[in-house]
Amino acid sequence: MMSRNRGGRRMGEDSVYTPYPATITWLREETPEITTFRVALEEGEAANSFAFKPGNFVLISVFGHGEAPFAIASPPSHGGIIEISVRRLGRLTQALHELSVGDRIGLRGPYGNDFFRHELKGKNLVFVAGGIGMAPIRSLLAYVLDDRKGYGEVTIVFGARTVADIPYKEEFTRWGKRSGVKVVLTVDPGGETSDWTGRVGYVPNILSELNLSPHNGVAFVCGPQIVIRLSAQILSGWGFSERNIISTLENRMKCGIGKCGRCNIGHIYVCKHGPVFTYEEIKKMPVSDY
C-alpha cells in the first residue's frame, strides 16, 4: 500500500512533513541547559529558497527521537544563517544536546507569522525577555542592529534565574556598546554571584524601574507567561498601546501547520495564527488555554 522515495522531496509533490536534510555547522554551549546550534541546509533547492523573518519558527528533527518547534534565533540579515537556541527539557532536546558539529538533522519550515505586525522603522524599541524567551528576540534585535540607523532608541531588559543561566553573554556586552542601546541584565534573587555587576530581581520588577516613554515605541516581550503578563501590564501602564506590545506564545505543537490540533488557544492556533501576537490579541484569549 505504500511507496518509498529515497532522498525525500523527490515526488513531484512535496510533503510538507518531510524535513530538509541539514547539518550542524557550529554550536555554542550558552549555559548548562541552553545550547545554540547553527544549522545549514544541504545544497539544493531548499537551501536556495529558504527565507525567514524574525519571529518565524522551524521544526527540527533528530531522527529516531522526533521533531519539535524552535524559534529561529538568528537574524535574516546574516546571510541566511539559521541558528536555534535549545533548552534541554524533553526527549528531543536531550537528543539534540548530544549532537556535535557535522551531525545531520532535519529541518522544515519556516512557519508562523513574524514580529513585523506593524511598521517598525524609526521606532524606539523595547525588548523584554526571560530565559529561553530571548531566542526569538535575538533574531529581531540582531536584525535591527544590523540596520542601526533605521530605528530609534533600543532598550533591552533580560533576566535569567542565575548568572550561569544567561545565554548570549558576549553578545549582550557587544550590544550594550552600540550607540543608543541600553542593556539591563538581571538575575532572580539568589541567582547572583559575588562578581555580578548586573541587577538582581525579577524581570517585571526591574522593568518597572525604567519608566520608559511610550512615545513612538513598540515593545517585544518573550518569556514565561507570568513575565509576559506582568511586563505587558507595566508597559501598558506607561502608555504603550496594547497593539504595540508584541509577544510570542509557545503551546505544544506537532505539525506546525494547523492540522494536529493541540496548540489551540480558543479558536486561535498558535502555529498558524501566531506565534507572534499583540497584547491586544492575547488579552482576548482564554487564559486557561495557554
Partner 1 sequence: MAKKVIDDECLNQFVSSLMERGYTVVAPRKEGRRIVYGEVETGADFLREYRNPQNSPKNLLFPRREEMLSFTDDGEVIEVVPDEAKTVLLGVRPCDAMAVTHLDTIFNWDYGDVYYNRRRRNTILIGLACNTPDPTCFCTSLGNGLGPHQKEKVDMMLTKLEEGSYLVEAVSKAGEELLSLITCGVQGKPSHDAKALELKERAEKMITKRLDVDKTFKVLDENFDSDYWKDVARKCIGCGICTYLCPTCYCFDIQDEGTSRFRFWDSCQFSLYAKHATGHNPRDQRFKRYRNRVYHKFVYFKKNFDAILCVGCGRCKIYCPMKVDIFKIVSEAEVNVVNLGRGEASE
- Sheet containing 20-29: give its strands across: 66-71, 57-62, 104-111, 20-29, 34-41, 82-87
Query: Are 165 and 130 a contacting pair, CB within 8 Å?
Result: no
- Classified as helix, coil or strand, 124 is strand
Measured between alpha carbons, how far is 245 from 290 in angstroms, rounded to an integer? 18
- Asked if residues 163 and 187 have their Cβ atoms less than 8 Å apart, the reply is yes
Residues 7-46 that bind partner 1 (CB under 8 A): 7-11, 13-19, 21
Distance separating alpha carbons of residues 209 and 203, to the nearest angstrom: 10
- Window 60 to 99, contacts with partner 1 (CB under 8 A): 61, 63-68, 89-90, 93
Site for partner 1 contains 164 (CB under 8 A): no
Tell me the C-alpha distance between 277 and 290, whole Å. Answer: 13
Cell numbers 493541540: residue: 262
Q: Which of 180, 216, 261, 284 binds partner 1 (CB under 8 A)?
A: 261
Q: Which of 188, 258, 280, 283 binds partner 1 (CB under 8 A)?
A: 258
In the complex with partner 1, the residue whose CB is nearer, 241 or 264, is 264
528531543: which residue's cell? 92
Strand 199-200 to 181-187 pairing: parallel
What does the alpha-carbon distance between residue 93 and residue 217 come to, in Å, rounded to a whole number? 36
Rounded distance between C-alpha atoms, residue 18 and residue 36, angstroms: 23
Q: Could you say whether residue 241 binds partner 1 (CB under 8 A)? A: no
**Residue 284 binds partner 1, judged by CB under 8 A:** no
**Closest distance of CB 91 from partner 1, Å:** 9
Least Å distance, CB 177 to partner 1, is 34
Which residue, 13 or 119, is less far from partner 1 as judged by CB? Answer: 13
CB of 281 to partner 1, least distance (A): 14
Identified binder of partner 1 from the candidate list 47, 200, 210, 257, rule CB under 8 A: 257
Relative orientation angle of helices 169-176 and 134-145, to the nearest 10 degrees: 40
Stretch of 29-37, 56-64, 122-130, 186-194 lying at the interface with partner 1 (CB under 8 A): 56-64
**CB of 106: closest distance to partner 1 in angstroms?**
6
Binding mask 103-122 for partner 1 (x = CB under 8 A): xxxx----------------
Amino acid at 277: F
Measured from the CB atom, is 164 or 260 closer to partner 1?
A: 260
* 2 is an interface residue for partner 1 by CB under 8 A: yes
Nearer to partner 1 by C-beta: 150 or 266?
Answer: 266
Residue with cell 512615545: 215
Least CB distance from residue 271 to partner 1, whole Å?
A: 10
Q: Is 161 in the site for partner 1 (CB under 8 A)?
A: no
For partner 1 (CB under 8 A), the number of binding residues is: 57
The verdict on whether omega for the bond into residue 286 sits within 30 degrees of 0, i.e. cis, is no
Under the rule (CB under 8 A), what is the footprint of partner 1? 1-11, 13-19, 21, 61, 63-68, 89-90, 93, 103-106, 225, 250-252, 254-255, 257-267, 269, 272, 286-290
